[in-house]
């Protein structure tokens, strides 16, 4: 009898999450107003770098692991709105993330705040299309040496 109860408990534990997952509402896809830029569009903007600013919305570990554009402002998406004062209004803005998901949200936010936004870019997509990406090596951790060995 105990074996049957254990089996029923195990079966219930396996089946319950599956049945509840079916009841969950499907995730809604973000409908961006800003365009996703391809390599040709980005390269055309890069022809006038003095009129352009890239805002990279990724975490620092993503920047070092994946790479990015040679010059950019690094502001994570969650911090974008509170850092608007540091973003130049006289330049065209391209927001950047890995595949443009976060970048589209950031581009829409900046456009709503009155910034001149060209669109959003996915740095991995740009590289896959043949674009050149800069990779930043993380700093090497130095070992501490005791300058006063007799202390």
Number of domains in the chain: 1
Check pLDDT > 80 for residue 143: no
Q: Which residues contact 92 (CB under 8 A, 6 or more apart)?
A: 45, 51, 52, 53, 116, 117, 118
Q: Which domain holds residue 105?
A: 39-128
- Report the pLDDT averaged over residues 81-91: 96
| Structure confidence at residue 82 (pLDDT) | 97
Does residue 93 form part of some domain? yes
> Which structure tokens are listed for 35?
């365009």
Does residue 72 form part of some domain? yes
Q: Looking only at Cα atoms, what is the longest distance across the chain?
A: 78
Question: How does the average pLDDT of the chain come out, rounded?
Answer: 85
Does residue 24 form part of some domain? no
Name which of 123, 100, 119 is nearest 34 in CA terms.
119
Does residue 80 form part of some domain? yes
Neighbours of 63 (CB within 10 A): 19
> Percent of the chain having pLDDT more than 70?
77
CATH code, 91 = 3.40.250.10
Does residue 120 form part of some domain? yes
- Report the pLDDT averaged over residues 40-49: 97
Check pLDDT > 80 for residue 14: no
Does residue 16 form part of some domain? no
Does residue 5 form part of some domain? no
**127 versus 1: which is more confidently predicted?**
127
> Which structure tokens are listed for 55?
């805002």
Does residue 62 form part of some domain? yes
> Which structure tokens are listed for 8?
């029923």
Question: At 7, is the pLDDT very low, low, confident or very high (cuts 50, 70, 90)?
Answer: very low
pTM for the full model? 0.74
| Structure confidence at residue 87 (pLDDT) | 97
Radius of gyration for the chain, computed over Cα atoms and rounded to the nearest angstrom: 24
**151 versus 40: which is more confidently predicted?**
40
pLDDT 10s digits, 124-133: 999 999 999 9
Check pLDDT > 50 for residue 58: yes
């Amino acid at each position: 009898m105990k074996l049957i109860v254990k089996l029923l408990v195990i079966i219930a534990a396996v089946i319950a999450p599956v049945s509840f997952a079916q009841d969950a509402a499907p995730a809604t896809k973000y409908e961006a107003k800003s365009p996703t830029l391809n390599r040709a569009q980005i390269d055309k903007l890069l022809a006038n770098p003095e009129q352009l600013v890239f805002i990279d919305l990724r975490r620092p570990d993503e920047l070092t692991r994946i790479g990015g554009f040679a010059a950019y402002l690094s502001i994570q998406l969650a911090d974008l709105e509170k850092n608007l004062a540091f973003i130049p209004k006289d330049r065209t803005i391209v927001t950047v993330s890995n595949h443009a998901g976060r970048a589209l949200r950031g581009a829409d936010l900046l456009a709503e705040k009155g910034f001149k936004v060209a669109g959003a870019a996915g740095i991995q997509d740009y590289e896959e299309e043949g674009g050149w990406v800069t990779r930043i090596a993380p700093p090497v951790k130095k070992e501490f040496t005791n300058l006063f060995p007799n202390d």
